[in-house]
A = this chain, B = another copy of it.
């Protein structure tokens, strides 16, 4: 169980549409394609990966602009792989809180849902450590590094 479809993938479009509407941002065909592709993905994806996978060949420049617009609107979250390449995924309020399994061999990143029990434990430590470091904690990001099944084979 390395991935889990969020409970809301069904009305993903509807939720994104509403969010964009309140910001006066249009939910165009290209933007829909990107959101759906990321909804299907099991982890954060780069612009290049999305560009290769999206069928009606969206030009890279438009894709980058779309990703930026969606990120600015709070629909997508942006992170980076081990080489500084930008990765995009659905924002937490769409995808649900989760962390990442990172393969140190192939670099692949996959979502992992931590159970409530474990998440409570993590949050407790994070809050304590952040407070001790004079940080007003707003969130945390955990990457679990190792060798994935495919790379072990």
Contact = CB atoms under 8 A, between A and B. Distances in A.
Contact of A84 (B85, B137, B142): B85
Instruction: Give the interface size class of chain A.
Output: 35 or more
Interface string A109-147: 010101000100110011011101111111111111111
A48 interface: no
Interface string A92-117: 00000001010110000010101000
A134 B122 contact: no
A152 interface: yes
For this chain, the copies found in one complex come to: 2
Contact of A126 (B82, B139, B141, B142): B142
B118 A128 contact: yes
Contacts of A125: 114, 118, 121-122
A112 B140 CA distance: 14
A86 interface: yes
A12 interface: no
4 residue pairs, one from A and one from B, having the closest CB atoms: A84-B84, A135-B146, A137-B146, A2-B133
Nearest to A78: B82
A149 interface: yes
